Amino acid sequence: MAGSAIGLGNIWRFPYVMGENGGAAFVIIYIAATILISLPIFVAEVLVGRNSERSAFGAMHAISGKRFWKWMGFLPVAIPLIISSYYSVVGGWSLKFLFSSVSGALVSASPDQVTGIFGSFISSTNGPVVFHLLFIFVCAVILICGVKAGIEKFSKFTIPALFVLVVIIIVYSLSLPGSMNGVKYLLEPGTQSLHPKAFAAAMGQSFYSLSLGMGVLITYGSYVSHKENLVVSSAGTALFDMAFAIMAGFAIMPAVFAAGLEPGAGPGLIFQSVPYVFNTMGAESPIISTVISVLFFLSVLVAAITSNISLMEVGVSYFMQKFSMKRILATVLVFLLCGGVGVLNALSFGVLSDFKILDMGLFDFLDTVSSNVLLLLCGFLSVIFVGWVMKKEDVKKEFTNSGSIEANVRIFGVFHFLIRYVAPVALVAIFVTNFIL
Ligand code: PHE
């Protein structure tokens, strides 16, 4: 579960969404939303999976026996495929920056040039498309060869490595001249104006980062043993994921201010600010800087691969079960689908930048709609399911391991209240605010 949660969502998405939505105030809303709403939903999804012993698209239907939930099982299959279509574009960017780190291009550029490398890369035509296709091709090959488990074992080393590298970047980033403005930006609410849409953005980010509302946790929950205390493992995962995201904020925002970039610069934020850190480091010691930047982009790349294969796997297993397809065919289909839409996403900062939906480029549109709208909708359905459709005794039994975990028996009342009343009301309120204001 931790492997699925930790990914580009923490390191790439959190800092830029925070930068677009008011800094410190956003961080506070994000923390509150994660603890009060996302964490109970996290537990609820794992609980549904363990109770039904089914994967995403069959679980709710299996428990309730109602047709409506069968139909709703479609959403958790469609959303990961939409996300994968642009996640793999960001995966491609990571790959490109890994190459640039190895070749020394990041260290040899001047500090002014280095923040612009990203902009000229994504607005070009061949580069973003080729790297995106390369990235998603690698993911597809991993899925076909069935070496997913091998890659996931590998990520047991790279995720902690990423963690350590982020700490190194924090320390270095804080030592840059001008970085304190970034710290202020993260800690002082009220310096930035807060748009009502920030609530949906914070909630959506929290869902995205915890892999909620996509059926991924329902599927993983179905593998959790009936002896496990799912409240402890869920809370541990959610809190660690949140801490990691906030750390990424402290690694990136000080560098953003030191480099004179805009915090609201959008999805490229990490790719503009982190190279600046490596570049300045490189002026003192090119070898150390090259090694650290290679390790950093390699770890980001592996985190992106593991997350993207789990996104693609949802579609692959759906096609295999539903249409009795062979794994290879199902994977080729998902590759063509996500890869094809991904090409358009990859071009949406360049030749297709004039193509706008609701004033957003295709990439931004799919990212915003899937996270701030579809995930919230799916999350809403899962709380209604656990709070109102499932029998309270069944939920309690699953939550407390049939009453054997004393502490869980004591907090069950709070959990059920949050799921039954607080989470649905909050989600509707956020949804309405997002559309009306
Ligand atoms: N939670 C992942 C991240 O933070 C994204 C993801 C969601 C990956 C769902 C897999 C499944 O990057």
- What's the Cα-to-Cα distance from 75 to each of 69, 81, 286, 318, 435, rounded to whole Å? 10, 10, 48, 12, 20
Closest by Cα among 375, 364, 408, 434 to 76 = 375
d(CA 38, CA 214): 13
In angstroms, the first-to-last Cα distance of the chain is: 35
Does the CB atom of residue 221 touch ligand 1 within 6 A? no
Q: What is the identity of the amino acid at 361?
A: G
Residues 241 and 209 sit within 8 Å (Cβ to Cβ): yes
Residues 48 and 218 sit within 8 Å (Cβ to Cβ): yes
d(CA 17, CA 80): 19
pLDDT digits (tens, 9 = 90+) for 22-66: 899 999 999 999 999 999 999 998 888 888 776 666 666 766 677
pLDDT digits (tens, 9 = 90+) for 4-15: 788 899 999 999
Per DSSP, what are the bridge partners of residue 357? 360
Helical spans, DSSP H, in 352-405: 362-368, 376-384, 392-399
DSSP string of 24-63, one letter each residue = HHHHHHHHHHIIIIIHHHHHHHHHHHHHHT--HHHHHHHH
**Ligand 1 centre from 108 Cα, in Å?**
34
d(CA 257, CA 138): 35
Percent above pLDDT 90 for the chain:
51
Phi, psi of 263 (to 5 degrees): -60, -25
Does the CB atom of residue 173 touch ligand 1 within 6 A? no
Identify the three-state secondary structure at position 124.
Answer: coil
Does the CB atom of residue 306 touch ligand 1 within 6 A? no
pLDDT digits (tens, 9 = 90+) for 272-312: 999 988 888 888 888 888 988 898 899 889 889 888 988 89
Does the CB atom of residue 5 touch ligand 1 within 6 A? yes
Query: What is the average pLDDT across 393-417?
Result: 92
Count CB atoms within 10 A of the CB of residue 403. Answer: 12
Per DSSP, what are the bridge partners of residue 360? 357
Does the CB atom of residue 22 touch ligand 1 within 6 A? no
Query: What is the average pLDDT across 194-210?
Result: 90
For ligand 1, mutation pick of 82, 209, 375 (most atoms within 8 Å of CB): 209
pLDDT digits (tens, 9 = 90+) for 79-113: 999 999 999 999 999 999 999 999 988 888 888 88
Tokens of 60: 């709710």
pLDDT of res. 116: 85
d(CA 349, CA 353): 5
Does the CB atom of residue 216 touch ligand 1 within 6 A? yes
DSSP string of 214-244, one letter each residue = SSHHHHHHTTS-TTS-HHHHHHHHHHHHHHH
d(CA 56, CA 339): 23
d(CA 146, CA 140): 10
Instruction: Decide if pLDDT at 251 tops 80.
Output: yes
- Residue in this structure with the two tokens 């939550």, named with its chain if needed: 399
